């Protein structure tokens, strides 16, 4: 009804305008009015009732594996007026983002950008650009992220070899080198922060092994960046990526990634074009001003507000300092560990040094339905915690205190909610 009324008013205005002019113009306006009337009658789908209501979003404590709560300063940055994605001011912001990523990654790599998309976009970008159909790749799998990379590589025609452990298991450097010697991959993948299991995997020495065997080293730090130390250049990591929505505390939708010179030589000397046009680094390197050309050409429209947010989140990290950020996550998660153990809960990763500071996993307590526990916590405390993901489903519950949420007061909220759920949810007698 609203739509018909709006169109009727538009038609009336056209009629009134034509009536005030000479009759020849009015005569010429008649076909236009007929077309307007016909277009009105062709609209058969009414406006959806949900779109006529204001947007409502609940306030919740996001204490899961991400996204995390966004601080007011970053929300304010996202609300800045939109500018053109190819304006000089936008290029300056993108240059700031590049330098912020270089600091966060501890790298001097020129080929450093932020993907327009979530961490999966960076994951696909890394594989699509450095691997060609038929080439051998080796993927370490000890949770869901290795599984995802393996599937991506298989879809684009790579010869995928898997190095597998149960969720939470880690690979020794000897195991990795033996597998690389056997399969002779062009790329080896490792998740530094395997958030589905709560593991922070050791990285030292693996980059050296990959260089020895002429293999690129790809590392996922989506869940670990800003919470656990990583040194891209010192640890000889060839490709590193992360996501905006974890310890960086920006909204989901941007994904920093960096390629060193070894990766660039492989990437820009391909025999075939990358599978994806959107993720083709030949174009993205120009869009981000990394290819040395004097002008940036249009490739795609980047998420302007998302880049505002990412720039602000990287600025906050730079102001705080990486060492202070790592220290804060270590202190708060130690406080959380003690509280969990006091509740009689078992930490899933036994070795303390292998636990991911940003995402803590606890073994599902005996006799409880983990879904009921999490639903109770959400309903009565407005707190999000999650169960496992991929191969860890049914094995763990996950608590994330990262970035803005990394405070002892939030650990107390999480612990009180868990204690309440354990007290009030039914426990089976078995």
Alpha helices in 254-303 (DSSP H): 261-267, 281-287
Backbone angles phi, psi at 26, to 5 degrees: -60, -40
Q: Say which residue the tokens 């080929």 belong to.
A: 111
Q: Is 73 marked as binding a ligand?
A: no
Give CA separation, 329 vs 20, 148, 340, 357, 408, in Å: 72, 27, 16, 6, 10
Which tokens hold the place of 342?
């006091």
Specify the 3-state DSSP secondary structure of 82. Answer: coil
Block residue for tokens 């991506």: 152
* Cα torsion angle, 32, 33, 38, 44, sign: positive
Q: Could you tell me how far CA 235 lies from the centroid of its own chain?
A: 23
Cβ atoms within 10 A of the Cβ of 342, count?
Answer: 10
Q: DSSP letter for 405, please.
A: G
To which H or E segment does residue 61 belong?
Answer: strand 61-62
Q: Which residues are annotated as a binding site for substrate?
A: 398
Q: Which residues are annotated as a binding site?
A: 398
């Amino acid at each position: 009804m609203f739509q018909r009324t709006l169109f009727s008013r538009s038609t009336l205005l056209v009629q009134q305008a034509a009536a005030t002019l000479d009759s020849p113009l009015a005569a010429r306006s008649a076909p236009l009015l007929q077309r307007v009337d016909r277009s009105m009658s062709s609209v058969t789908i009414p406006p959806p009732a949900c779109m006529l209501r204001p947007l409502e979003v609940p306030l919740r404590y996001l204490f899961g594996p991400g996204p995390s709560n966004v601080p007011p300063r970053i929300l304010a940055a996202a609300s800045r007026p939109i500018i053109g994605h190819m304006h000089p001011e936008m290029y300056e912001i993108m240059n700031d983002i590049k330098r912020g990523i270089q600091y966060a990654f501890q790298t001097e790599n020129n080929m450093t950008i932020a993907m327009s998309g979530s961490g999966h976009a960076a994951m696909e970008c890394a594989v699509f650009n450095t691997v060609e159909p038929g080439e051998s790749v080796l993927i370490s799998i000890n949770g869901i992220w290795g599984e995802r990379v393996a599937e991506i590589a298989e879809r684009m025609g790579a010869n995928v070899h898997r190095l597998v452990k149960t969720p939470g298991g880690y690979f020794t450097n000897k195991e990795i080198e033996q597998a690389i010697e056997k399969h002779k991959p062009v790329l080896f993948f490792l998740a530094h922060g395997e958030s589905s299991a709560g593991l922070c995997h050791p990285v030292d020495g693996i980059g050296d092994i990959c260089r020895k065997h002429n293999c690129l080293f790809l590392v996922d730090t989506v869940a670990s960046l800003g919470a656990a130390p990583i040194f891209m250049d010192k640890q000889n990591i060839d490709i590193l990526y992360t996501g905006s929505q974890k310890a960086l505390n920006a909204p989901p939708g941007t994904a920093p990634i960096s390629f060193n010179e070894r990766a660039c030589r492989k990437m820009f000397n391909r025999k075939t074009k990358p599978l994806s046009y959107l993720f083709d680094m030949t174009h993205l390197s120009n869009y981000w001003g990394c290819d040395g050309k004097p002008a940036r050409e249009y490739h795609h429209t980047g998420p302007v507000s998302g880049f505002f947010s990412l720039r602000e989140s990287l600025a906050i990290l730079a102001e705080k300092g990486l060492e202070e950020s790592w220290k804060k996550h270590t202190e708060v998660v130690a406080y959380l560990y003690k509280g969990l153990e006091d509740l009689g809960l078992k930490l899933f990763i036994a070795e303390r040094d292998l636990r991911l500071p940003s995402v803590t996993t606890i073994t599902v307590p005996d006799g409880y339905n983990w879904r009921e526990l999490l639903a109770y916590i959400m309903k009565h405390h407005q707190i999000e915690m999650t169960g496992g993901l991929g191969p860890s489903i049914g094995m763990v519950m996950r608590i994330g205190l990262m970035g803005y949420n990394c405070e002892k007061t939030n650990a107390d909220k999480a612990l009180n909610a868990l204690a309440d759920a354990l007290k009030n949810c039914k426990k089976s007698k078995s």
